[in-house]
Chain A
């Protein structure tokens, strides 16, 4: 279970990291200001999910 959870959470981190990169590109290259703001906020939420996942991974493997 621990191994599967680690792999699943790592995949969450990888996907959110890739989305983070995509949102950054969209935020800088969008023409409309409202789109830019939306992409930037989506990026912020994405980073929060990524950090949550990495903290959970660290908790799973915490030194006893």
Chain B
């Protein structure tokens, strides 16, 4: 197995994409704006590096304003296996003490058309246990994020799109043009797995990033809002440094702050296997 794209090829592809998108976006929406599918494909294929390491701090805020904090390291790398795309991810919790060293190893087999493979490491028992694949819309370890939210890329092929228009989006005192579009899961089964029936997405075309996504349930009630802030270039790659997820039903919110982001560290392929969890080498 090897990394999917070389960093240079990815940078070239991203540059080409930006040129095409910019030329398209200069035109009015009604007269030649990119399709929703093209926009989201660009989001999926944008340069995210060969591999990435995040050190994250997740603050969980309940409706009374009480907070709980979790810190973790998250590593992600893209692989190609028999010409099929696979993304592997290692998440190790650093705090609080009751989940310290607990780890998750996951293989995203979306490119192979099958469910994820997930292993949970429980340090008190020294037990690495295979667990059933979660639904993509299931909450990620008690936060308001879903497993789908914390994966890289965007499964653009799973949706149909309607481009709604363009508007301005302000982040860090700067205004940016964004496209508004609506996406619906292609099948009822996909909608069940994802946990929503439609989603409204705001995309910044200049960086090919979603800045906000609203999710609606089967009764078309606003269920959840995901918002990205503080978008900057890190190691030449556009990156959000803060991501918020708000559950409108429970009025619970999770703020994920990226305390450290490192791309293209040439993480070894075999870093993404059970050894990393069993040896408790991440701290």
A and B associate in one complex: no
Name B residues whose Cβ lies closer than 8 Å to a Cβ of A: none
Name A residues whose Cβ lies closer than 8 Å to a Cβ of B: none
